[in-house]
């Protein structure tokens, strides 16, 4: 298993459009662990860990988001594994 950790910085119309809830649902369905949270600048921050092949599908979803979202830019940074046990929405 080729496990990876990515940090995603997602900008655009991504708050108030169910992005975090939809992101958690997608992560749970793919078996990805990590977190998602709204940032004060209007962006969304995601940490995602899992098998690289599955993460690629998740990253593609994050570039689009749920139907009401409009992602303008997504920065993806690979980082060290943190060993998340599940995927959580940070209030």
- Look at residues 4, 35, 40 and name the one whose alpha carbon lies nearest to residue 20: 35
Report the sign of the C-alpha dihedral through residues 74, 77, 78, 82, in that order.
negative
- Look at residues 87, 29, 42 and name the one whose alpha carbon lies nearest to residue 69: 42
Residues 6+ apart with CB under 8 A from 91: 37
Residues with a catalytic annotation lie at 20, 38
Q: Coil, strand or helix: which one is 54?
A: helix
């Amino acid at each position: 298993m080729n496990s990876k950790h990515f940090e995603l910085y997602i900008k655009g119309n991504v708050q108030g459009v169910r992005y975090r809830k939809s992101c958690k649902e997608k992560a749970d369905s793919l078996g990805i662990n990590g977190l998602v949270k709204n940032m004060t600048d209007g962006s969304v921050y995601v940490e995602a860990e899992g098998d690289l092949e599955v993460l690629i599908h998740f990253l593609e979803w994050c570039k689009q988001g749920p139907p009401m979202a409009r992602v303008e830019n997504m920065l993806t940074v690979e980082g060290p594994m943190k060993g998340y046990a599940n995927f959580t929405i940070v209030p």
